[in-house]
Structure 1
Amino acid sequence: MIVITHGVAELGEGIAPIALRDSAATATRLDALLPAGARLTRIFGPADRLTAKLANTQQDSAAAYFLDFFAVHGVTADLDALAERLRADAAVDGAYVKPGAEPPIAPLPTARRALAEAPPVTPNFEARQGYLDAAPQGVNARWAWTRPGGRGAGIRVIDVEGAWRFTHEDLTQNQGGVIGGTSATDEGWRNHGTAVAGEISGDVNAFGITGIAPEAAIRAVSIFGGGSATAIRTAADALTPGDVILLELHRPGPRHNFQSRSDQAGYIAVEWWPDDLAAIRYAVARGIVVVEAAGNGAEDLDTAIYDTRATGFPSTWRNPFRGGAEDSGAIVVGAGAPPPGTHGRDHGPARSRLSFSNYGSRVDAQGWGREVTTTGYGDLQGGSDEDYWYTDQFSGTSSASPIVVGAIACAQGIHARGAGPHAPAAIRARLRETGSAQTGAPGRPATQRIGNLPDIRALAGAPSPSE
């Protein structure tokens, strides 16, 4: 549960904003409304830490905004009633219960774990990673690898989701493990995180797969134990300007009354929830590039349903999918089709929107949403030991988003050897201006925007071979 207190204008004038919000009075007042065993914690803060983290970002005046956000822990029953009781307090502007976040992987009806044990030496699967290839089929990773810094050297990435297998044979280099939260024990989350890490930073060797940015340093923060907004804030605090956070999450949205569904219909990007929106803005204010899965709900994010505040949202909330003043600053990623014939399958014209992918003016770029070869799952190579599992069928905005992250890490590595890594807004603008154009498919026209597939060469500002 999330609680958001009123801002300075509602609480009184003539008091320093941060001092007001950081006083113990508000927290003590709200604590009295909580059941036994529950506790209230700030998502951001305390004030001295927050102002230090935001120093030199031209966002100091916004620091007080972040101190309005609290999370309630230690209570699992009657959450809606508790939220209503909190909203009745004059100090509270909003209190709401979020639906659980899920990994944005599309269903894999044909994928089955291989039962045979892995061979003594894993084959080299890199030829199956078509997303590494030159544009327009792939993101031009092989070109990037020929450039100084083009393997992502010096760039750090943190994946925010649920669990990982960092003991995997192809994830032994340039990884720092889980640095926040508590990893889930669920195999689905673990396979998911392992697959994401492989796409971005799989090791350079003679076997298995190779990540798009194999020299980028990858770490992870779990949403379990503190919530997604706290995980994003933890990740942001561990990074420096030019680094990247990946949000491998989506949630059931208002289309189906926030209900979890096996088909993921109506699931949307997490920035729609006020605390996650604030956490993303916090990261971007610190110069961190945030990449966010658009979600697999087959939703047009431009529809009016997303303009309506959910029960318990604060009065100041406005729909971030509208961009403009409400923009989170994140790069939102949709899922496009791989080239027809990839792994012997056809999902429509290359770079056309896959039917499950959310779309709209807010979506910035696309990645492959089907047929992604990476670590985990075990349908390509299985057996009893997860450290040797590989898949040919990672999917969803889950598989699309790490492709965009890998491309950004390569470009930022190249930029770091010149004028320095680019700011989040500049990277997003370049993704929209460059890359391989989205195409249309029957019933899924290119006007249903998921953006272009990145081309690292263009993203890095290098001339095309014909220039």
Structure 2
Amino acid sequence: MATQDRRVRSPEELIVVTHSTETALTPIALTENRGTESRLTDLLPAGASLVRIFGPANRLASRIAETPHADAGFGADYLNYFSVRGVTDELAAVAERLRADDAVNAAYVKPPAELPIAPSIAASTATDEAPATTPSFEQRQGYLDAAPQGIDARWAWTVPGGRGAGVRIVDVEGAWRFSHEDLRANQGGIIGGSPSSDQGWRDHGTAVAGVISGDVNEYGITGIVPDALIRAVSVFEAGSAAAIRTAADALSPGDVILLELHRPGPRFNFTDKPDQAGYIAIEWWPDDFAAIRYATGKGIIVVEAGGNGGQDLDDAIYDTRPAEFPSTWRNPFRGGADDSGAIVVGAGSPPPGFHDADHGPARSRLDFSNFGSRVDTQGWGLEVTTTGYGDLQGGADEDLWYTDVFSGTSSASPIVVGAVASYQGISAAAGGRKTPEEVRTRLRETGSPQTDAQQRPSSQRIGNLPDLRALNGSS
């Protein structure tokens, strides 16, 4: 029997952030930064190298042209972010050596990123052969239903643009199986990174793709926005911040990036824990925050899993700057001037009785979900039917696998992406796409309200479940 294996993790990442005397992308800034890069490279072990997270220095100006980054005159900040490649051992020692250089503002090791699947859920892979024809599982996708049970995707399908036509989505995680029988249309494949060969990462990415854009046909499941184009970037080899930047450069204003990752945070001293306690959203790390801001500054909607650590993201522990972080770092969970602009997603309970299970009142916070004022909206965190894993339909061929138990902020986030892409498709058909801030504000203002559960009151905010009819101003 196979399980939803989240224990294969992406590698640790060593990140370097340099100082700069310039804020604008001037020739002086480029020359200074290249000199710093050359000097720091000499401090690295043999075979190691610095890689620019935001791509070639001479291409940065054109990529941020006509964005708030250029207008504000701080584009040179993106020159300062590097990852170190070619070092697998003693990363902390290398980071310490780099921090001794006056040009280095920060050098830190990021814990491995993991998949935010509910820690208590294991999906068995069926050993029985798949039937000659896959049946329809669409009625098991309760998240497609009318509010307050679901997001009312079926209503949106009747509205011009409601199936996501013209909207492009990039999923940032680890691996996918785009050859699945229900992922044949509007799938653009992997456009960056090196996909993991691990079954768990592959099943996870396949499940996410199914929720968002599973094909319209007579069998299997149907995605929330089957007309949207979905592509993928892997964090393996690239690292998470570079993967976000790659995704952003492949999209246009109003398109969507999904971040399906979380990391162990400071609550337990960044310790890997099987129960995921203390895991948090990745924007807390400076380079990931910068990459998300890069994307939202280009007008791209970023949807970010809030994490499964059971944490109050308003807790003061997240205000403490690690000594290895940049001196300018501030806790992004406080929002305000330090807001990344991403839509942060919590995990809520499906309606009691769905799939013959009861996880508490519908839309109440599931106990593993992070919460707090920074969390914008929620999706189903359990009982999500989609492609992959094989517990609902298995057999020898992965292309025929389906699941009934996709979970965590992992399952909640693609549900929100589907709602956002549908909203953008409808908005475009009606005259124009919305900005990241407009979309996030609308998700907070509308939707089916969060409810109370025993020891998990609605004051532990995960936000409302999107309601596409209300989101689009219909009732």
TM-score by length of 2: 0.95
Name 2:349's counterpart in structure 1: 337
Name 2:447's counterpart in structure 1: 435
Query: Among residues 1, 4, 19, which one is paired with 2:28 in the alignment?
Result: 19
- Could you tell which deviates more after superposition, 161-170 or 103-112? 103-112
Name 1:3's counterpart in structure 2: 16
TM-superposed CA distance for 1:65, in Å, is: 1.1
Indicate the SS of the match to 1:160. strand
**Distance across 2 between alignment mates of 1:436 and 1:50:** 41
TM-superposed CA distance for 1:22, in Å, is: 4.9
Query: Among residues 267, 270, 274, which one is paired with 1:262 in the alignment?
Result: 274
> Aligned runs of 1:36-435 on 2, under 5 Å?
36-60=46-70, 61-109=73-121, 111-435=123-447
TM-score by length of 1: 0.96
TM-superposed CA distance for 1:62, in Å, is: 2.3
TM-superposed CA distance for 1:419, in Å, is: 2.2
**Distance across 1 between alignment mates of 2:121 and 2:291:** 35
TM-superposed CA distance for 1:439, in Å, is: 0.4
Name 2:472's counterpart in structure 1: 460
- Could you tell which deviates more after superposition, 129-138 or 15-24? 15-24
Indicate the SS of the match to 1:71. strand
Indicate the SS of the match to 1:366. strand
Structure 1 residue runs of 4 or more that deviate by more than 6 Å after TM superposition: none
**Distance across 2 between alignment mates of 1:418 and 1:55:** 27
> Identity over the aligned pairs, expressed in percent?
69
Name 1:449's counterpart in structure 2: 461
Indicate the SS of the match to 2:425. helix
Which letter maps to 2:446?
T
Verify the 8 A CA contact 1:8 1:17 in the aligned structure 2.
no
Q: Structure 2: any 5+ residue segments left out of the alignment? A: 1-13
Verify the 8 A CA contact 1:157 1:219 in the aligned structure 2.
yes
Verify the 8 A CA contact 1:18 1:64 in the aligned structure 2.
no
Q: Does 1:29 align with 2:42?
A: no
Indicate the SS of the match to 1:52. helix
TM-superposed CA distance for 1:20, in Å, is: 1.9
Indicate the SS of the match to 1:245. strand
Which letter maps to 2:275?
D
- Could you tell which deviates more after superposition, 24-33 or 46-55? 46-55
TM-superposed CA distance for 1:211, in Å, is: 0.3
TM-superposed CA distance for 1:253, in Å, is: 0.5
In the comparison of the two structures, how many residue pairs are matched?
459
Q: Structure 1: any 5+ residue segments left out of the alignment? A: none
TM-superposed CA distance for 1:227, in Å, is: 0.2
Verify the 8 A CA contact 2:367 2:456 in the aligned structure 1.
yes
Indicate the SS of the match to 2:252. coil
Indicate the SS of the match to 1:234. helix
**Distance across 1 between alignment mates of 2:349 and 2:120:** 15
Verify the 8 A CA contact 2:25 2:74 in the aligned structure 1.
no
Verify the 8 A CA contact 1:18 1:47 in the aligned structure 2.
no
Verify the 8 A CA contact 2:257 2:300 in the aligned structure 1.
yes
TM-superposed CA distance for 1:45, in Å, is: 3.9
